[in-house]
């Protein structure tokens, strides 16, 4: 098409057109070359292992010899495995707990410290733990929650019940206290995002509502919350995915025990594959985890798939 | 007006009390990390010891379980892998949007689709594949995994960024005689450096904090990443006293705490960019 335009415009035939054609061909090569490293890395190190795991989940591979196909044996075993029922319950607790607590508290603290003098110093204690890894958080809270640990002695000193409770030794208490530990760590990111969201809300609607007499809860529910919703979508999305993949904290604080009472899907997968050498079964657990993640993201994306959100989100990022 | 004052006082009160609760575990860690490790009894945990033993405990943590060599290895991983990933991802974004790769959107989806797989789906094949390819327990092996995991995010952010830049920038640079690579390196990379740094900071933290790939793909101390070694150290059977474990936890956290506090806004920008 461009050739035609050139011909018509300049009345000098072919040469310019041919030159432009060559340039476009080389730019096509360049384009392929630029994208190739990403595609290669992703194909070899993400897609290939993914497909291989999918295949292994239909085998009884135990790490030696070659995998033998076993049909749906792993999956039918999954359905009747009592460990998996516990694991699913714990994973559910993690997803709901780490969604409600860190997001809710993060929003609360963002609102409480928003627009007051020294607000950034009041927020600092909540931001600090976020820079800690799951492993370091587990070290900190293992110290607090272990038998005869800090929390036990604190409760005993204050003459409160719980001085001799083994927080990490009984289910589902161990999962619940670990969710609190996770809340301690992850409140910071939600707080940070909400503060930025609040700061990017335009002043006019707030001032207008104030003149109309809106205060407190009414101001929040009618004006601030609707304006924060796109950002809430980001925060909730991050929390859902993280909750579903919980591993570090549980693996270090309880190794999924005692027994297998505090395992999450990610811990069950690791234990079945790399501790019990049951790689086929471990792969099936990984497939289940992937499927649940996909379902959650799809349900979530469908609710959030609203072009208006994108525009506001871009504003929230600034 | 008094109502306003009262509510402000409540706001200060509530956040201060909650803040103190949030600081308490950190206080305990610091106080007990500087307690002499030999006389540790597990009592009087709230009162600082009169002997300052933090440096000694740092030293013990560094030698115990090879935390020192893990620190060096992890510093290498968490700088090199995100740096490579950010450049490779930017190249992909540039190829797709600026150079208008044919079926660019499909290729983009192929790259970005990599974020859909949880690590659990990759571990078993990587473990056996790495053993066959002699990449198991090597620094190169870990760098490759970290780069591959970091690339989709970088490509995603950079594609979005380049889509918002005018095509005329490329065309006029081409007329001035620049090659596509030079235009990328001299014009587009400097143009998007804030986004590049935001993604780098985010991915630095991801790699620094990784436990799982280190657990599955390494075993010797010069290769094992930091968090995996800390996890070994914190195991009750490792025979290390509490003050040394806590000192270890402090050392491994200081770099990310410092980075996070210095780049809060950039960090949050990275997170929101990543979700767009």
Q: How many domains does chain B have?
A: 2
Mean pLDDT of the region A59-66: 87
- Give B-chain residues touching A246 at CB under 8 angstroms: none
pLDDT band at A26 (very low <50, low <70, confident <90, very high): low
How confident is the model at residue A11, as a pLDDT? 41
First vs last C-alpha separation in chain B:
42
How confident is the model at residue A161, as a pLDDT? 81
Within 8 A by CB and 6+ apart from A152, the residues are A162, A163, A164, A165, A167
Which chain B residue is nearest to residue A66, measuring alpha carbons?
B128
**Contact of A243 with A251, CB cutoff 8 Å:** no
Residue B121 and residue A31: Cβ atoms within 8 Å?
no
**Same domain assignment for residues B41 and B178:** no
**Same domain assignment for residues B31 and B133:** no
Distance CA A188, CA B252 (A): 19
Mean pLDDT of the region A131-160: 87
Does residue A259 carry a pLDDT above 80?
yes
Residue B276 and residue A273: Cβ atoms within 8 Å?
no
Does residue A318 carry a pLDDT above 70?
no
**Same domain assignment for residues B29 and B137:** no
First vs last C-alpha separation in chain A:
41
Instruction: Give me the total of CB pairs closer than 8 Å, taking one residue from chain A and one from chain B.
Output: 283
How confident is the model at residue A253, as a pLDDT? 92
Q: Give the minimum alpha-carbon distance from B34 to chain A in angstroms, rounded to a whole number.
A: 14
pLDDT tens by residue, B239-267? 778 888 888 888 899 999 888 888 877 87
| ipTM exceeding cut-off 0.85 for this assembly | yes
How confident is the model at residue A120, as a pLDDT? 83
Residue B123 and residue A274: Cβ atoms within 8 Å?
yes
pLDDT band at B192 (very low <50, low <70, confident <90, very high): confident
Distance CA A297, CA A154 (A): 41
Does residue A1 carry a pLDDT above 50?
no
**Same domain assignment for residues B87 and B196:** yes
Distance (Å) of CA B55 to CA B45, B60, B65, B120, B247:
19, 9, 17, 38, 9
pLDDT band at A180 (very low <50, low <70, confident <90, very high): very high
SS3 A262: coil
What percentage of chain A has pLDDT greater than the value 70? 86
Structure-block tokens of residue B157:
């952010």
Q: Give the minimum alpha-carbon distance from B185 to chain A in angstroms, rounded to a whole number.
A: 12
Mean pLDDT of the region B17-30: 92
Mean pLDDT of the region A284-295: 93
Does residue B199 carry a pLDDT above 70?
yes
How confident is the model at residue A40, as a pLDDT? 96
Residue A313 and residue B276: Cβ atoms within 8 Å?
yes
How confident is the model at residue A15, as a pLDDT? 45
pLDDT tens by residue, B134-152? 999 999 999 999 999 999 9
Write down the pTM of the prediction: 0.86
Residue B242 and residue A133: Cβ atoms within 8 Å?
no
pLDDT band at B238 (very low <50, low <70, confident <90, very high): low
Comparing B264 with A305, which gets the higher pLDDT?
A: B264
Alpha carbons within 13 angstroms on the beta-carbon side of residue A5 total 3
How confident is the model at residue A228, as a pLDDT? 86
Partner-chain residue, chosen from B42, B92, B256, that has the shortest CB–CB distance to A131 = B256
SS3 B209: coil
Q: Give the minimum alpha-carbon distance from B109 to chain A in angstroms, rounded to a whole number.
A: 10
- Give A-chain residues touching B100 at CB under 8 angstroms: 27, 31
**Same domain assignment for residues B194 and B246:** yes
Q: Give the minimum alpha-carbon distance from B35 to chain A in angstroms, rounded to a whole number.
A: 14
- Give A-chain residues touching B26 at CB under 8 angstroms: 128-129, 140
Q: Give the minimum alpha-carbon distance from A50 to chain B in angstroms, rounded to a whole number.
A: 6
Query: Helices in B103-138 by DSSP H: which ranges?
Result: 104-112, 120-132
Distance CA B59, CA B37 (A): 11
**Same domain assignment for residues B39 and B76:** no
- Give B-chain residues touching A43 at CB under 8 angstroms: 110
Residue B125 and residue A138: Cβ atoms within 8 Å?
no
**Orientation of helix A173-199 relative to helix A225-244, angle to 10°:** 140
How confident is the model at residue B185, as a pLDDT? 92
What percentage of chain B has pLDDT greater than the value 90? 42
Count helices and strands (H / E) in chain A. Answer: 16, 0
Q: Which domain holds residue B48?
A: 2-53
**What's the mean pLDDT when you consider all of chain B?**
87
**What's the mean pLDDT when you consider all of chain A?**
83
Q: Which of B30, B53, B76 is the last residue of a domain?
A: B53
**Same domain assignment for residues B145 and B234:** yes
How confident is the model at residue B215, as a pLDDT? 94
How confident is the model at residue A281, as a pLDDT? 94
How confident is the model at residue B169, as a pLDDT? 86
Does residue A196 carry a pLDDT above 90?
no
**Same domain assignment for residues B112 and B144:** yes
**Same domain assignment for residues B203 and B118:** yes
Q: Which of B53, B74, B96 is the last residue of a domain?
A: B53
**Same domain assignment for residues B13 and B85:** no
**Same domain assignment for residues B16 and B82:** no
Partner-chain residue, chosen from A216, A279, A317, that has the shortest CB–CB distance to B273 = A317
Residue A136 and residue B230: Cβ atoms within 8 Å?
yes
**Same domain assignment for residues B114 and B155:** yes
- Give B-chain residues touching A25 at CB under 8 angstroms: none
pLDDT band at B63 (very low <50, low <70, confident <90, very high): confident
pLDDT tens by residue, B108-135? 999 998 888 899 999 999 999 999 999 9
**CATH number of the domain enclosing B84:** 1.10.3720.10
**Orientation of helix A82-113 relative to helix A279-304, angle to 10°:** 40
């Amino acid at each position: 098409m461009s050739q035609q335009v050139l011909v018509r415009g300049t009345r000098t035939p072919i040469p310019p057109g041919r030159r432009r054609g060559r340039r476009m061909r080389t730019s096509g090569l360049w384009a392929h070359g630029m994208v190739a490293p990403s595609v290669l890395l992703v194909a070899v190190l993400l897609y290939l292992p993914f497909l291989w795991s999918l295949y292994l989940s239909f085998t009884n591979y135990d790490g030696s010899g070659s995998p033998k196909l076993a049909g749906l044996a792993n999956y039918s075993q999954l359905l009747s495995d009592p460990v998996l029922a516990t694991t699913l319950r714990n994973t559910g607790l993690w997803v709901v707990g780490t969604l409600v607590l860190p997001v809710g508290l993060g929003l609360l603290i963002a609102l409480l410290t928003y627009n007051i003098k020294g607000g950034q110093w009041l927020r600092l204690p909540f931001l600090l733990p976020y820079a800690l890894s799951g492993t370091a958080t587990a070290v900190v809270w293992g110290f607090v929650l272990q038998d005869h640990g800090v929390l036990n002695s604190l409760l005993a000193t204050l003459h409160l019940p719980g001085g001799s409770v083994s927080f990490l030794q009984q289910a589902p208490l161990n999962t619940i206290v670990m969710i609190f530990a996770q809340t301690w760590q992850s409140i910071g990111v939600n707080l940070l995002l909400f503060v930025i969201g609040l700061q990017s809300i335009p002043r006019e609607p707030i001032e207008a509502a104030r003149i109309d007499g809106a205060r407190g809860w009414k101001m929040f529910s009618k004006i601030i919350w609707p304006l924060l919703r796109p950002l809430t979508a980001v925060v909730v999305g991050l929390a859902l995915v993280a909750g579903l993949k919980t591993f570090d904290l549980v693996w270090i604080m309880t190794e999924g025990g005692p027994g297998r009472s505090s395992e999450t899907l990610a811990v069950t997968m690791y234990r079945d594959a790399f501790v019990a050498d049951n790689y086929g079964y471990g792969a099936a657990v990984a497939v289940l985890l992937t499927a649940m993640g996909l379902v959650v993201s799809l349900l979530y994306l469908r609710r959030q798939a609203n072009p208006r959100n994108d525009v506001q989100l871009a504003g929230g990022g600034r | 007006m008094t109502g306003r004052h009262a509510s402000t006082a409540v706001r200060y009160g509530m956040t201060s009390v909650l803040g103190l609760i949030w600081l308490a575990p950190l206080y305990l860690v610091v106080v007990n990390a500087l307690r002499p490790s030999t006389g540790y009894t597990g009592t009087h945990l709230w009162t600082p010891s009169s002997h300052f033993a933090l440096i000694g405990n740092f030293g013990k943590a560094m030698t115990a379980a090879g935390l020192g060599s893990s620190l060096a290895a992890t510093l290498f991983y968490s700088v090199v892998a995100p740096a490579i990933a950010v450049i490779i991802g930017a190249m992909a974004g540039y190829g797709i949007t600026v150079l208008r790769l044919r079926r660019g959107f499909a290729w983009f989806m192929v790259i970005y689709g990599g974020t859909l797989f949880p690590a659990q789906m990759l571990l078993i094949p990587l473990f056996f594949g790495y053993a066959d390819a002699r990449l198991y327990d090597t620094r190169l092996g870990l760098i490759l995994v970290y780069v591959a995991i970091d690339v989709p995010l970088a490509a995603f952010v950079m594609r979005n960024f380049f889509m918002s830049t005018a095509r005329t920038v490329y065309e006029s640079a081409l007329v001035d005689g620049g090659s596509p690579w030079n235009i990328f390196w001299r014009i587009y990379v400097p143009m998007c450096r804030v986004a590049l740094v935001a993604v780098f900071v985010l991915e630095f933290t991801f790699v620094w904090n990784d436990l799982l790939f280190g657990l599955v793909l390494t075993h010797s101390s010069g290769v094992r990443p930091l968090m995996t070694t800390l996890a070994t150290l914190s195991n009750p059977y490792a025979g290390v006293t509490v003050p040394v474990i806590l000192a270890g936890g402090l050392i491994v956290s200081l770099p990310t705490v410092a980075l996070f506090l210095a780049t809060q806004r950039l960090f949050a920008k990275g997170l929101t960019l990543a979700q767009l």
